[in-house]
Amino acid sequence: MEDISHIIDPLNAVQREAVAAPAEHLLILAGAGSGKTRVLVHRIAWILETQQASPHNILAVTFTNKAASEMQTRINQLLQTTTLGLWVGTFHGICHRLLRMHWQEARLPSTFQILDSDDQQRVIKRILTTFALDDKIWTPKQVQQFINNCKEQGLRSQHIIAEGYDLWLKQMLSLYQTYEEYCQKNGLVDFAELLLRTYETLRDNTALRATYQTRFRHVLVDEFQDTNDIQYKLLRILVGQHSYLFAVGDDDQSIYGWRGAKIENIQNLSKDYPAIHMIRLEQNYRSTGTILSVANNLIANNKKRLGKNLWTDGEAGEPVYLYSAYSEIDEAQFIVGKIADWVKKWQEVAILYRTSAQSRVFEEALIQKNIPYRIFGGLRFYERAEIKDVLAYLRLLHHRQNDTAFERIINLPKRGIGDKTLENLRAIARQHQCALWEAVHHAINAQLLTKRAATPLLEFVTFIDKLSEQLLDCSLSEKVQQIIQQMGLIAHYQKDDPIDAQRRQENLDELLRATQQFETQNKEEFDIVSAFLAQAALEAGEGQGSKFDDCVQLMTLHSAKGLEFSLVFLCGLEEGLFPHQNSLDEGNLEEERRLCYVGITRARQTLYLSHSETRAQYGQRNNAEQSRFIREIPSELLQEIRLKSAYSNHSGVQPSITLQVGDNVSHPTYGNGVIIEQEGQGELTRFQVRFAKGATKWLLLAYTRLEKC
């Protein structure tokens, strides 16, 4: 046997135990930053170097192609050779490979094609047409989600029984059955089908099942806590009587229940494998001792967990900081102020939040400070589809000549205006050298379109004209609110994608807050609608760095899993926001707490927690209650920060005013200035300040921090 010290020596004692364990079922409960990928890679190398099995006998499953590629590379580097025959891949990749090899057993043509998500929706849309169903009611995305959810639970259409009164389910099952028949006839396999078809093929073919159970003597699985029903069924059928399961995961980082992941798969593994040996990786190589203590104390409040306690032999580090903001604006200004003082690379800084709508105030504050940023795994606020939809309506109401806005909303929500009609309008516009809006009137007056095409166009332009007249004397925020309501956009998004509708509604609520804030700060603007649209366009084009730039990382907590940063800001820790009200209503508090745990353990050196004492919601500013997650952290681990000013008290709700006209003041964004006018009282007090840089701004006292010079 060759020298294998290079496999064992780099590991700590518990990692070595996991890597060199005898052939048996193993559950490696790997805490955040404990080196789980290293253990998995070294386990494979150990099995091969000690000649317990050949590469042909090993199957390693990951959740992303990137992770699979990195694992393969690290194995080759460790062994200093290419491991031919070793299967490393995602669930979908491995199932695709099996189906290509055994297409006959799977009852598929050898030339079967994979349907991506868009192609799948197109097939469903075609089926909806044959059923003569209105795709505004039975949306392709809704049907797609129903079909995929059924498949991920291992259910075919014939497995589901609809009660006599459940007409919706009966219709869905009919669509599902027709979709299955269409795909089978045309040799089409969607992503969910890859897994279900592979499972069924192995389940129903004794010889084939025995072949792979004999071949794969070692089945290693990463991120085991994220497996869903059909993935776990696949693993159960691949691990035979003489095979060994090596499951690596962390029940404390199970945060994807909303998309089908079953935490029970890892928590109840011992029921299916009674002899399984559990090894806990608890030594953390990422975070300071204090950050780990905060994480441990928080997650200990979850009752359903396998249990572990992260520790480090590194330094305790600085305390975890807690900032109580007066408002979400103050929260953003404080955080961006701290980032401006950061002397290292900005790519080492992350702002984490529960909902994507929270990014807006941070984006604005970063742009004001000229700090580049990147929305990790998502779009900038003003680039999001639902925001662009509303702004397109606002632009067309304000300026009928805007062809880009016209084309975006002419059929949103759907009005039965097809591509052919729109192309005819473009031709008329070119002929008359006019905007599309005017082309509609030319087409109708000259009877250039069929009645079927002209009727919805006339209804649209008439509605826009009436809405414009109705909103003539309304404020900017009132116009936006009426657009959202009268155009039925929320209902449209709920039909289009029920799962994503909540996020879109939160973003639209945030857009409404943005307009209210803009009105407060720009009272002197003559044309406030144009000014706001200009700012939105500018912010959509500023600040955003590419993944190759040195820029601050903004992301939702769900996007942060697997990442780490030197400086982390975990914001919006308020009841109803984090933990989110939907999760509280659905009884998912423990998953919310795990999500907070994931956020905390992203920080290597410095961690700030923040919450706001007031937050604007649905057009009103309301008091916000501090999150229970903060209260679950021992106070001795937290250092509270509160920027005291001449007018602030701890509540931040009814400020004690000592500022007056003539006072010299300082603002964190606009610099030094002098108060030239004051109006209102209490939390509605606002000051007009002339700043040395030349700008004059109206600032609302309740959520603007002015320091008296």
Q: What residues act catalytically?
A: 36-37, 222-223, 253, 602
Extract the annotated binding site. Answer: 30-37
What DSSP string describes 271-336?
HHSTTPEEEEE-B-SSS-HHHHHHHHHHHTT-SS------B-SS---SPEEEEEESSHHHHHHHHH
* Cα separation values, 150 from 106, 270, 638, Å: 19, 27, 46
Q: What is the 3-state secondary structure (H, E, C) of 400-461?
A: CCCHHHHHHHCCCCCCCCCHHHHHHHHHHHHHHCCCHHHHHHHHHHCCCCCHHHHHHHHHHH
CB-side neighbour CA atoms (13 Å) of 67:
19
183 and 156 in contact (C-beta within 8 Å)? no
Distance CA 396, CA 262 (A): 47
Please state at what angle helix 359-368 crosses helix 498-521, rounded to 10 degrees: 40
| Angle at the Cα of 31 from the Cα atoms of 25 and 37, rounded to 5 degrees | 65
Q: What does the buried/exposed string (b/e) look like for 126-165 if buried means 16 or more CB atoms within 10 Å of the residue's CB?
A: ebbeeeebebeebbbbbbbebbbebbbbbeebeeeeeeee
406 and 437 in contact (C-beta within 8 Å)? yes
Residue 325: phi and psi, rounded to 5, are: -90, 160
624 and 614 in contact (C-beta within 8 Å)? yes
Neighbours of 693 (CB within 10 A): 9
Distance CA 706, CA 709 (A): 9
Least Cα distance to 704 among 645, 624, 642 occurs for 645
User: Kind of pairing, strands 552-556 and 373-375?
Assistant: parallel
Both tokens of 136, joined, read 């505004």
Distance CA 80, CA 51 (A): 16
Listed in sequence order, the residues at least 6 apart from 185 whose beta carbon sits closer than 8 Å to its beta carbon are none
Q: What is the three-class DSSP state of 36?
A: helix
